[in-house]
Amino acid sequence: MTHGIDTDFLAAAEIRDHPYHRLADALLQALLADGHDLAVAPQTLAEFIHIVTDPKRLLDLLLAATFQRAGMKRLITNNERDFKGFGSFEIVNFLT
């Protein structure tokens, strides 16, 4: 059987310091041992990234990762500060 998982379960299963880690990990191991599948929606992954990274940069992080993976070297933005830290883009500021 396939089980859809929510972010709270994913976070608890993955983050060892989470207060419910042992419970979530035990369930995860039992499901996998019994041959069950797990389904993760893109929204779950986006929310998970939000939880484990700085929430102020979530969308910038996803955007930078997408563009970097696609091989883009330049990024047009007026929020240079938000992307400068990634160190992988030439920033083109359209306001200057």
- Per-residue model confidence (pLDDT) at position 93: 83
CA atoms within 13 A on the CB side of 64: 19
- Per-residue model confidence (pLDDT) at position 55: 56
pLDDT tens digit sequence for 30-89: 999 999 999 988 888 887 887 787 656 766 777 788 888 888 888 888 778 877 777 888
The reported pTM is 0.58
Per the CB < 8 A criterion, the answer to whether 77 and 70 are in contact is no
- Per-residue model confidence (pLDDT) at position 27: 93
- Token pair for 17: 């310091």
CA distance 16 to 53: 16
